[in-house]
Each structure stands twice: as C-alpha cells, then as structure tokens.
Chains A and B, each alone.
Chain A
Amino acid sequence: GENVEQHPSTLSVQEGDSAVIKCTYSDSASNYFPWYKQELGKGPQLIIDIRSNVGEKKDQRIAVTLNKTAKHFSLHITETQPEDSAVYFCAAYYDYKLSFGAGTTVTVRA
C-alpha cells in the first residue's frame, strides 16, 4: 500500500515567519494530495489540495508544491499567525482511499 512520511513532527515559528512541512509518498500511482489542519478536539479541515498534473497551487498565505519525479510534496504557510497553530496532516490518494502522514504540530509564537 501507499506509505506517506511527513517531516518535521513539530515546528515552532515566530509570528510572521514562514512554515514549511514536507511529505514523501511511495507509490507513483498516487494522483491527489490534500492537506488538512486539525485543531484540538475537532475533525480535520481540508485547507488545500493538489492533483498530479499540477506542480504548484496557492491560496492566499498557503501554497503546496508537488514533485512527482521525487515523489514529494510540501506545504508552505507564509506570514504565520497564532491561529495557524494546529496539527497539519498531508495525505496521498491511492487505491480509492487516503493514506495520511503522521502529522506536524505547528506552534506560532507571538
């Protein structure tokens, strides 16, 4: 099956700085890569996604890049704010389901 690795496991940034989370996947047949934000006690929220025929996608302060050759994709958050503090999960769609990374706990220091 698909194996998704996510780094780092924790990330602390100063408010206003950028945050980058990286994920790798194992199966080249994966074709859809969403990112989720999960706040404590809540369900994951889809924040951005990218399909295999696209290299980069941006939505305001959030961007995702995909390198199919290297089988890795990254989430970039610019101008971080305290409300960006949460756990972020990357995922890869393969065999009709999502495989998730282990998660990154992002803390934005005021």
Chain B
Amino acid sequence: GAVVSQHPSWVICKSGTSVKIECRSLDFQATTMFWYRQFPKQSLMLMATSNEGSKATYEQGVEKDKFLINHASLTLSTLTVTSAHPEDSSFYICSAKTRTYEQYFGPGTRLTVT
C-alpha cells in the first residue's frame, strides 16, 4: 500500500505555545488529506478535510482558528495547534486519499501539553 509519513511522532509543549505537525504522502499525490483526533480506546474523530490549494473544511465543533490546516502541495499538509492547552493533548493522525477512494493513514503524532 501507499505510504504516509507524519512528523513528529510525539511532541511535548508548554501551555500557550503552538505546535506544527506535518503529513506527507511519500509515493502518491493526494488531492485530499484528512486530519483526525483519537482519544484512548475510541474511534477516529474527523477534524477537517484538506484539499490542495484551497481552504480546509472543518467538522462541526472544531475551532478553525485553533487548528490551522495548510495543504500546500499534493504531498504535504500541516496541522498547527495554536495556543495549546492541556485539553488539546491527544493522538493526532493524518490520512491521504488516492484518486480511487483508498485512504492511507500516517503513524500518528502524540501531543502532550503541559
């Protein structure tokens, strides 16, 4: 299957700072990328859909000014958590969709806000 990378794999930051997470599709071009959040022992919660060259579409209840998404190219999307607080601590996972529906996930980023 196709490979999606995510960086960093884990990060610890202080409350009030911002953190950027990168998601790359390594061997295919992804016109659409997705960002998910996952709490322990729960399913994947879609935060936003990111299309290359256009503004991200956020799911209901997700603060777009807090979770900034940029899809700068067909292989790169970034998620920036601004002014992070302890309640933002979570496992963040990106995915990239091929032109034929298949969606491949990155390895995830564990964010801890202290």
Contacts and interface: CB of A to CB of B under 8 A. Distances in A.
A44 B49 contact: no
Q: Is the interface of B mostly helix, strand, loop or mixed?
A: strand
A100 interface: yes
The interface centre, meaning the residue of B1, B43, B101, B102 with most chain A CB atoms within 10 A of its CB, is B43
- Range of interface residues on B (Cβ < 8 Å): 20 to 34
A97 B105 contact: no
Interface in A68-110: 89, 93, 96-98, 100-103
Contacts of B106: 43
B103 A43 contact: no
Interface string B40-58: 0011101001000000000
B24 to A, nearest CB: 13
A103 B42 CA distance: 8
B105 A89 contact: no
B103 A98 contact: yes
Contact of A45 (B44, B101, B105): B105
Nearest to A33: B101
A43 B49 CA distance: 17
B43 A43 contact: no
B49 A96 contact: yes
A46 B44 contact: no
A99 to B, nearest CB: 8
B8 interface: no
B30 interface: no
Contacts of A102: 42-43
Interface in A9-59: 32, 34, 36, 41-46, 49, 51
Contacts of A46: 1, 102-105
A42 B107 contact: yes
A97 B43 contact: no
The interface centre, meaning the residue of B1, B34, B93, B103 with most chain A CB atoms within 10 A of its CB, is B103
Contacts of A32: 101
